[in-house]
Amino acid sequence: MKPIFIAGPCVIESMELLEEVATTLCRLRDSLGIEIYFKSSFDKANRTSLNSFRGPGLKKGLSMLGAIKQKYSLQILTDIHEAWQAEPVAEIADVIQIPAFLCRQTDLLVAAAKTGRIVNIKKAQFLSGADMKYPVQKAIESNAKEVWLTERGNSFGYNNLVVDFRNIADMLKFTPRVIMDCTHSVQRPGGGDGKTVGNREFVPAMAMAARAFGATGYFFEVHPDPDKGLSDAANMLYLKDLEKTIKNLL
């Protein structure tokens, strides 16, 4: 199966940022002949602190993502946190993503599946790859068009994640599209005095390890200046490094 790529800034910060990233993704799509999805969140509803930036919200965020889709002809992936968001998000997004902490929320999975869009379910930090059989079943039995699964590490102790790459092989038993979230997997949740930090230097290696275990997709949150990013700054990949990372995987 030909790999897919998902990339974009963690959260929608500005239209200027979205356009800068979209321009790069279009260039890579056309020059490398890859299938790529533009990802950004209209609302980060699970930030560590109440004072953390969450994004522009549903209405404005979808308008911005819709503009990117129309201008750049990019496929859009974004996440939902509540079941009622599925229907309006499906008007813009090609893929509806279920956040890891919410992957067992039945109403959320059913609502996403019923839209007719692809559903990408991120594996919870507290579940094994084999456990993801049941979220997939919920989505399929609710008439999901297609279901993807995404690996993003497991919690073992505090403020850290560990990736067991065997989860990829286990999840390939239920769906042919298993994606490695190469940037969230290097997070150190809550490890930065009220915010999540991480180790972006390990992102390319995470991708290559996942490739060895059979991953059929790769997820990278990218930013032209990650340290100034308003969410997940420490683990986002530099936008300028995305091309080299993808070429190595190909």
* Range of lowest pLDDT (20-24, 80-84, 176-180, 193-197): 193-197
Would you state the pLDDT for residue 191?
61
* 94-149 residue pLDDT tens: 999 999 999 999 999 999 999 999 999 999 999 999 999 999 999 999 999 899 99
Coil/strand/helix, residue 17: helix
pLDDT above 70 as % of the chain: 97
The CATH number assigned to the domain with range 4-249 reads 3.20.20.70
Q: Give the containing element (helix H, strand E) for 246.
A: helix 242-249
Would you state the pLDDT for residue 189?
72
Instruction: Provide mean pLDDT across the span 180-197.
Output: 77
- Range with the largest mean pLDDT of 46-60, 100-114, 158-172: 100-114
For residue 71, name the pLDDT band (cuts at 50, 70, 90): very high
Structure tokens at 92: 């813009």
Domain ranges of the chain: 4-249
* Range of lowest pLDDT (2-16, 83-97, 104-118, 186-200): 186-200
Global pTM value: 0.95
Rounded Cα distance, 250 and 208, in Å? 10
Would you state the pLDDT for residue 159?
80
Structure tokens at 208: 């290559």
Q: Find the angle CA(228)-CA(231)-CA(236) to the nearest 5 degrees.
A: 70
Rounded Cα distance, 110 and 249, in Å? 34
pLDDT of residue 9 exceeding 70: yes
pLDDT of residue 190 exceeding 80: no
Q: What is the dihedral sign for C-alpha 48, 50, 56, 58?
A: positive
- What count of other Cβ atoms lies within 10 Å of the Cβ of residue 85? 21
Average pLDDT, the chain: 94
Instruction: Provide mean pLDDT across the span 18-34.
Output: 98
pLDDT of residue 174 exceeding 70: yes
pLDDT of residue 49 exceeding 80: no
Instruction: Provide mean pLDDT across the span 193-205.
Output: 79
For residue 39, name the pLDDT band (cuts at 50, 70, 90): very high
Would you state the pLDDT for residue 194?
60
Rounded Cα distance, 131 and 191, in Å? 27
